Amino acid sequence: MTSKPTKSITKRAAKPAARSSAHSDVKPLVAILMGSASDLDVMGESAKVLEELGIAHEVVVTSAHRSPLETAQYAEAARDRGLQVLIVGAGLAAHLAGAVAAHTTLPVLGVPLESGPLRGIDALLATVQMPAGVPVGTLAIGTTGARNAALLAVQILALSDPRLARALLDRKAEMTAAVQGLVRRFPEDR
Ligand code: AIR
């Protein structure tokens, strides 16, 4: 079964720096899926990280509950379309990551989103508690999870891309340089 993405809000091409060429027909390597357009602000954090590292990606809204058939079709077609990692964010009864994982052998990284009175705990449990046999690698709730999902996706891509691995090492070095270290000691040294 093949199909086009349910509803592609944005499709971005990679910058020339990292993995792919800058041509507009470059194939996305990572997809960022979310259950609602209302998730876009938070899941945009994943897109930012991928852009920083020059990874071609696409952003798609598709719901496990509101458009279940389109969700299944998207997931089934993903590998043949050249996608390598799927990042999936959803809030409330967040079945999207599991539903996607049910229909693909690509790695699925789930981001539970804060929405409604339970503030993301509902989505966290729904995303992380996948029954054995259908894994969803689950990240933290919200923007932290969205950023880390993208970094993890790049780490997966970097397994077969030394240039990308070096770019990740550079980012780690920058992060280390930004940490202040010991600020003060008591009693102070003379
Ligand atoms: N959602 C949409 N379909 C299934 C689920 N779990 C989630 C979205 C969003 C929340 O429901 O991922 O976080 C609220 O969506 P909306 O469209 O009502 O704002």
28-55 burial, b if ≥16 CB within 10 A, otherwise e? Answer: bbbbbbbbbeebbebbbbbbebbbbbbb
More confident residue, 161 or 20: 161
DSSP class of residue 21 equals -
In CATH, what number is assigned to the domain containing residue 25? Answer: 3.40.50.1970
Assess if residue 71 is contained within a domain: yes
Mean pLDDT lowest for which of 4-8, 47-51, 105-109, 173-177?
Answer: 4-8
- Ligand 1 centroid – CA 74 distance (Å): 18
Nearest to 154, CA basis, from 32, 80, 55 = 55
- Ligand 1 centroid – CA 174 distance (Å): 36
pLDDT of residue 21: 35
Helices 143-158 and 162-178 cross at an angle (nearest 10°) of 140
Assess if residue 104 is contained within a domain: yes
C-alpha distances in Å from residue 160, one per residue of 54, 117, 134, 173, 174: 16, 42, 24, 21, 23
- Ligand 1 atom closest to the Cα of residue 93 is 6
Position 189 pLDDT exceeds 90? no
Q: Tens digits of per-residue pLDDT, 59-95?
A: 999 999 999 999 999 999 999 999 999 999 999 999 9
- Ligand 1 centroid – CA 15 distance (Å): 31
The span from the CA of 103 to the CA of 75, in Å, is: 5
DSSP-assigned states of every residue in 87-143: EEEEESS--HHHHHHTT-SS-EEEEEE--TTTTTHHHHHHHH-PPTTS--EE--STH
Nearest to 96, CA basis, from 85, 105, 87 = 87
Q: Tens digits of per-residue pLDDT, 9-35?
A: 444 434 433 333 344 579 999 999 999
Backbone phi and psi for residue 20, each to the nearest 5 degrees, phi listed first: -115, 175
Number of independent structural domains in the chain: 1
pTM: 0.88
pLDDT of residue 25: 79
Assess if residue 185 is contained within a domain: no
The span from the CA of 172 to the CA of 66, in Å, is: 40
Three-class secondary structure of residue 171 per DSSP: helix
Residues lining ligand 1, CB < 6 A?
A: 34-36, 38-39, 63-66, 90-94, 113, 115
Domain with 27, as residue range(s), is 7-178
Assess if residue 189 is contained within a domain: no
Across the chain, mean pLDDT equals 90
Assess if residue 25 is contained within a domain: yes
Give percent of the chain with pLDDT exceeding 70. Answer: 87
pLDDT of residue 188: 84
Assess if residue 21 is contained within a domain: yes
- Ligand 1 centroid – CA 92 distance (Å): 7
User: Mean pLDDT across the stretch 144-157?
Assistant: 98
The span from the CA of 61 to the CA of 148, in Å, is: 20
Q: Pick left, alpha or beta for residue 161 (phi over 0 → left; psi -120 to 50 → alpha; otherwise beta).
A: beta
Assess if residue 1 is contained within a domain: no
Assess if residue 149 is contained within a domain: yes
User: Mean pLDDT across the stretch 50-57?
Assistant: 98
